Amino acid sequence: MSHKAVIIRGDGTGPELCEAVLKVIDASGAKIAWSDAEAGEKPLQRGEPVVPDKTIEIIKKTKIALKGPMTTPVGKGSVSANVTLRKKLDLFACVRPIWTLPGVETPFKDLNIVIFRENTEDLYAQIEYMATADVALALKVISKSGSRRIIEAAFEYARANGRKKVAAVHKANIMKISDGLFLQTAREIAEKYPEIEFGDYIVDNFCMQLVTRWKQFDVVVMPNLYGDIASDLAAGMMGGLGVAPGANFGRDCAVFEAVHGSAPKYAGLNRVNPTALLLSGVLMLRHLKETQAADRIEQALYRVLREGQARTYDLGGTTGTQEFAQAIIAKMS
């Protein structure tokens, strides 16, 4: 069966990463009819919105997209293309699995954690302003309904995948009302899943325990900002941004993307690691029930990583982005 999916190639290193990943997906036997759509710097430079309406429309119609990273200027300029896309498609659940990859040396053995990050609220409401010439204010938005749907998604995932524990991460000791609401909601939902052990951690303590006692964590759910930061920390534990995949789910659409950004200093150099975006593509194939193609890619990638002859710079080698993709294709059986 053939599937339709949208590809957004993105900014910086996005286009070269997408080129490499599409070749591998194509070689896996999965039949995907790709439609290109734009978001990020290119439409912005033409004076269009950072996420054009036609991009939103085609994803709503197709329901599936694979996305390269997009650049957001720091401290000035346009709103984030990523945040805009997630909000316009109501992709409320950002799911970032962290596990030990064969052949990728890290001090963190036997990692197996899935992070659920709320994707539409919190400080990413992007409501900030100068209250006086001296004081900038930013609004942290946490709603009961927004908390409920991400926490339920984490519990449902745990139940469907035989996971034993869900932990909620918060800072309710300081933000008693906003993070307090998130925690209270988590406690209420946990009662409906008696077979799943529930715990909660204050975010600073969570970060410390993540790098000292990572094996105690299973599924973890948190508001947007903590999820953004903690999932990059967890990506580092997995082997770096070059290998950590992710997915954004709404009720209707799903957009798959790596945890990392556009790494602009490497743009056009054929150096960055396509593994993170490729594993995001594998998550997409599993979502489409293309299990055989997903398994083929994963096994070929694992063989390449284990053998270690082809490695991109971040994993200590000199192999280029496209050559790394070719090495994976060569190992497919």
Positions marked catalytic: 124, 171, 204, 228
Residues 196-235, mask of contacts with ligand NAD (x by CB under 6 A): ----------------------------------------
Taking the least distance from each CB to ligand NAD, the nearer of 74 and 160 is: 74
Could you tell me whether strands 254-258 and 64-67 are parallel, antiparallel, or unpaired per DSSP bridges?
parallel
Which residue(s) pair with 198 in the sheet? 166
Taking the least distance from each CB to ligand NAD, the nearer of 146 and 240 is: 240
Contact 247, 287 (CB under 8 A): yes
Picking from 262, 271, 270, the residue whose alpha carbon sits closest to that of residue 315 is: 271
Contact 96, 234 (CB under 8 A): yes
Q: Does residue 77 interact with ligand NAD by CB under 6 A?
A: no
CB of 75 to ligand NAD, least distance (A): 11
Q: Does residue 86 interact with ligand NAD by CB under 6 A?
A: no
Of the residues 260, 296, 311, 331, which one makes contact with ligand NAD according to CB under 6 A: 260
Picking from 123, 121, 119, the residue whose alpha carbon sits closest to that of residue 153 is: 119
Taking the least distance from each CB to ligand NAD, the nearer of 257 and 298 is: 257
| Tokens encoding 240 | 């770096």
Picking from 22, 29, 137, 123, the residue whose alpha carbon sits closest to that of residue 80 is: 123
Q: Does residue 273 interact with ligand NAD by CB under 6 A?
A: yes
Q: Does residue 126 interact with ligand NAD by CB under 6 A?
A: no
Q: Does residue 320 interact with ligand NAD by CB under 6 A?
A: no
Identify the residue whose tokens are 């993170």.
Answer: 276
CB of 10 to ligand NAD, least distance (A): 6
CA angle centred on 198, ends 193 and 199, rounded to 5°: 165
Could you tell me whether strands 219-222 and 197-202 are parallel, antiparallel, or unpaired per DSSP bridges?
unpaired
Q: Does residue 89 interact with ligand NAD by CB under 6 A?
A: no
Three-state secondary structure call for residue 193: coil
Of the residues 28, 82, 84, 231, which one makes contact with ligand NAD according to CB under 6 A: 82
Q: Does residue 280 interact with ligand NAD by CB under 6 A?
A: no
Taking the least distance from each CB to ligand NAD, the nearer of 91 and 169 is: 91
CB of 318 to ligand NAD, least distance (A): 13
- The type of residue at 191 is E
- Give residue number: closest CB to ligand NAD: 261
Could you tell me whether strands 245-249 and 254-258 are parallel, antiparallel, or unpaired per DSSP bridges?
antiparallel
User: Rule CB under 6 A: which residues touch ligand NAD?
Assistant: 69-72, 82, 241-242, 257, 260-265, 272-273, 276, 314
